[in-house]
Amino acid sequence: MKYSDKVLDHFMNPRNMGEIEDATTTGTVGNPVCGDIMKMDLKIVNNVIVDAKFMTFGCGSAIATSSMSTELIIGKTTDEALDLTNRVVAEALDGLPPVKMHCSVLAEQAVKKALETYYKREGLMTPERAKKFAILGKCEHDDDHENCECSDE
């Protein structure tokens, strides 16, 4: 398997690893097929993500995608972060091997799980936002999920 320099850098030098003691919200997700677990803490002030930290138990790709996802959402509004996709994470890392694309899906899910908890707790869930959570974990580029690079196989 060939990894990009960015994947290797984020694996060897992860950004924003750890926990936020006074996190506004937290999302934890796992993939039973590969065993990866991601926990994402977000600190939100005036609807802006001012800090994001992760704890990941998994392979190098899982750590790299967690790290990159935090970099992509810090400073964004919660709605901007809600638009984060696994493809955006993978592209920001200059790609992932097809067999590791599920790691980028897990990173997206961890961010969105934290946001879903936040929106529900704060009474900010709207029908438009709810639609984005309804497709959580589903591949956005292949309706029948055949020939999908995001599969866990």
Q: Is 139 annotated in the active site?
A: no
117, HSE (Cβ side, Cα atoms, 13 Å) = 19
Catalytic pick from 59, 103, 139, 150?
Answer: 103
- The Cα–Cα gap between 14 and 92 comes to 14
DSSP state, 135? T
Q: Is 34 annotated in the active site?
A: yes
Catalytic pick from 34, 59, 139, 148?
Answer: 34
Phi-psi region for residue 94, left (φ > 0), alpha (ψ -120 to 50) or beta? Answer: left
- β-strand partners of 55: 39
DSSP state, 138? S
User: Which residues are part of the catalytic machinery?
Assistant: 34, 103
